[in-house]
């Protein structure tokens, strides 16, 4: 994880125009089921926000990259759940995520579409809630509305604090 934080810091400082693809990749990997358990996306996006603030890079490209990456990652997870819902529970790929899928199912059955918004802010469930929404056959547009609105807020919440605080410390 330390190496990933160093890479984000050094790369964003050396190549400020790369903050969009960096944020996109991090947010996508944080939102795509399975990959989210490997890449520490939340920490990397907070780190990127700090680099943006300390380097006086515009936050907008990073925010847009994080929004689009998280929307795409969740959409693909939803699509997999929607099209393969009967096979997922029996698939060897998803067996290691049974506990997260069960928790996401409980959250989804309790909150419905709101679970997509809530799940976005709950680390271990972030990528499994869209999968479960697809498995539960939530229709596309209600899913995409919740997915998009939550991505807009989530990306800002992770990037803005570091950008704002460090921008004031390093004027």
What tens digit of pLDDT does each residue of 127-142 get? 889 999 999 999 999 9
User: pTM of the entire structure?
Assistant: 0.89
**What's residue 153's pLDDT?**
96
Q: What number of other Cβ atoms are within 10 A of residue 2's Cβ?
A: 7
What average pLDDT is seen over the chain? 86
CA neighbor of 115 nearest in space, from 98, 134, 96: 134
Is the predicted pLDDT of residue 38 greater than 90, yes or no? no
**What's residue 21's pLDDT?**
96
Is the C-alpha dihedral spanning 39, 42, 45, 50 positive or negative?
Answer: negative
Spatial separation of the C-alpha atoms in residues 91 and 95, rounded to whole Å? 6
Domain residue spans in the chain? 2-169
Residue 107: exposure state from Cβ atoms within 10 A (0-12, 13-18, ≥19): buried
Is the predicted pLDDT of residue 168 greater than 60, yes or no? no
**What's residue 141's pLDDT?**
97
The pLDDT tens digits of the residues spanning 22-31 come to: 999 999 999 9
**What's residue 114's pLDDT?**
93
**What's residue 92's pLDDT?**
76
Spatial separation of the C-alpha atoms in residues 112 and 146, rounded to whole Å? 11
DSSP character for 141? H
Spatial separation of the C-alpha atoms in residues 149 and 58, rounded to whole Å? 22
Spatial separation of the C-alpha atoms in residues 152 and 165, rounded to whole Å? 20
Is the predicted pLDDT of residue 146 greater than 90, yes or no? yes
Residue 55 near residue 19 (C-beta atoms within 8 A): no
- Between 39 and 17, the higher pLDDT residue: 17
């Amino acid at each position: 994880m330390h190496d990933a934080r160093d890479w984000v810091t050094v790369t964003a400082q050396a190549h400020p125009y790369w903050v969009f693809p960096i944020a996109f990749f991090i947010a996508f990997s944080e939102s795509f089921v399975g990959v989210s358990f490997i890449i520490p996306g939340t920490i990397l996006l907070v780190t990127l926000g700090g680099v943006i603030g300390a380097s006086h890079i515009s936050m907008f490209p990073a925010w847009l990259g994080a929004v689009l990456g998280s929307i795409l990652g969740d959409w693909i997870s939803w699509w997999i759940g929607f099209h393969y819902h009967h096979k997922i529970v029996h698939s060897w790929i998803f067996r290691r995520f049974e506990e997260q899928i069960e928790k996401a199912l409980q959250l989804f059955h309790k909150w419905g579409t709101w679970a997509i918004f809530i799940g976005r802010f709950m680390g271990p469930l972030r990528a499994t809630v869209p999968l479960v929404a697809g498995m539960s056959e939530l229709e596309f547009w209600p899913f995409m509305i919740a997915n998009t609105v939550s991505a807009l807020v989530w990306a800002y919440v992770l990037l803005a604090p570091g950008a704002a605080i460090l921008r004031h410390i390093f004027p």
